[in-house]
Chain A
Amino acid sequence: MNIDSIQNGVVIDHITAGKGMLLYSLLGLDALDVSVAIIKNAVSEKKGKKDIIKIDADIPVDFQVIGYVDPGATLNIIREGQLVEKRDVELPDTLTDVIFCRNPRCITSTEQELRHIFRLTDREKRVYRCVYCETAAK
């Protein structure tokens, strides 16, 4: 499969091999009524192997999810069969409703309407802490 095989949509490329399904799940792609292709263990010049996700629809993609799961991935926006934008993904400073606080003492455990917000506190070790109780995400 090639990028130009979709007309209007999104290609998430250079996903670390093995993380494609996790991204598929966290991005909620299973709930979409559009064509989605997951390519596992594709040949990569840089990484040897990589996963790729192709979404055949012009939908907003949650950058923070991709950045959290695989900051080395790239996002390609396709319009009318052409690559119109290529974005590198970074580890996001905050994550909202991507991961959930598991601390039973945290206020988020009882107040259901609260968003689960995590802040990056150690970029090198990729440590995210709940903004309410400061418990590190696992």
Chain B
Amino acid sequence: MRSVIDILDLSVEELEGLIQTSLDIIQRPAEYSELCRGKKLATLFFEPSTRTRMSFEAAMYELGGNVISMSSAASSSAAKGESVADTARVVSCYADIIAIRHPKEGAALVASENATVPVINAGDGGHCHPTQTLADLLTIYREKGSFEDLTVGLCGDLKFGRTVHSLINALSRYSGVKFVLISPEELKVPSYVKRDVLKQKGIPYVQTTSLEDAIPELDILYMTRVQRERFFNEEDYLRLKDSYILTPDKLRGAKEDMSILHPLPRVNEISVAIDKDPRACYFKQVLNGKYMRMALMRLLLKEAGTL
């Protein structure tokens, strides 16, 4: 049974297919509105989430299907001690496809190993969040027309930011991509990502602590939030949380056609004054995420023989 746990579970050709399906959904939504009639998505969210969960639910409704879910982890069988493996086995009996978010890294893989329906990782701790990357990729594609020859700046928490690692993995498969990694010393991209992805594939990258110095050369600026829930130590979180705040002043040196992305939720790392700037793409990203989730569920349900 095919599941998507990591963005690398999808080939470049499959990503291209998902992008084309998404563009078609945008053009001809009525053609897809009954596609999943009678099908059910189960959303298993063991960690608080608003947009990802609603995005999955909206995506299934727009495909004509239904959604079943638990109201919260606290009221689920997990609170009684049920394992992720057992939960996946049980929910497979009710649903045609599962989207799972869990605070523990690897939980989605465990679910996929035990489910009898396709599983989509909707975030497993600080590990992977492939559908956010799908949203990022569609946004970049729609803004830039291609993934090649882009200088991509990643800014903020590059250590715990799962979206950052997934995006690096995904974009590293295209030619001419260059990364500028902007973070405080304590939140730099882990060495294994640099060694196993960037250095191994010969992808150029620079590391810097200065957003102002880096911004003029960027085609994409991907901002991230320093996430409280990834820190064991509150003191470290408070010290680092305001490391980078994007303001109109800092944006003055940027290219006219630079695109600003953010996985959201935003706290204060992008000033609201930037929201009206034509370069701000983070709300478009949300919409693009829904289209890509529709395309992904269509793909997995078709492969499972459900559609």
Contacts and interface: CB of A to CB of B under 8 A. Distances in A.
A133 interface: yes
Given A114-B110, A131-B109, A132-B110, A107 B126 contact: no
A113 B84 CA distance: 11
Interface in B92-132: 102-107, 109-110, 124-127
A133 B104 CA distance: 8
B47 to A, nearest CB: 12
A130 B127 CA distance: 12
Nearest to B200: A122
B107 A107 contact: yes
Contact of A134 (B84, B102, B127): B127
Interface residues of B, number: 17
B83 A133 contact: no
A103 B124 CA distance: 14
A103 to B, nearest CB: 7
A111 to B, nearest CB: 5
A108 interface: yes
Interface residues of A, number: 19
B85 interface: yes
Given A133-B127, A134-B127, A136-B192, A109 B104 contact: yes
B192 A108 contact: no
Interface of B is mostly: mixed
B31 interface: no
A138 interface: no
Interface centre among B102, B103, B104, B124, by most chain A C-beta atoms within 10 angstroms, is: B104
Contacts of B235: none
A121 B196 contact: yes
Contact of B126 (A105, A109, A121, A122): A105
B196 A132 contact: no
28 contacts: A103-B105, A105-B103, A105-B104, A106-B104, A106-B106, A107-B84, A107-B102, A107-B104, A107-B110, A109-B104, A111-B83, A111-B84, A111-B110, A113-B83, A114-B85, A121-B196, A122-B196, A130-B106, A131-B109, A132-B107, A132-B109, A132-B110, A133-B105, A133-B125, A133-B127, A134-B105, A134-B127, A135-B105
Interface of A: 103, 105-111, 113-114, 121-122, 130-136
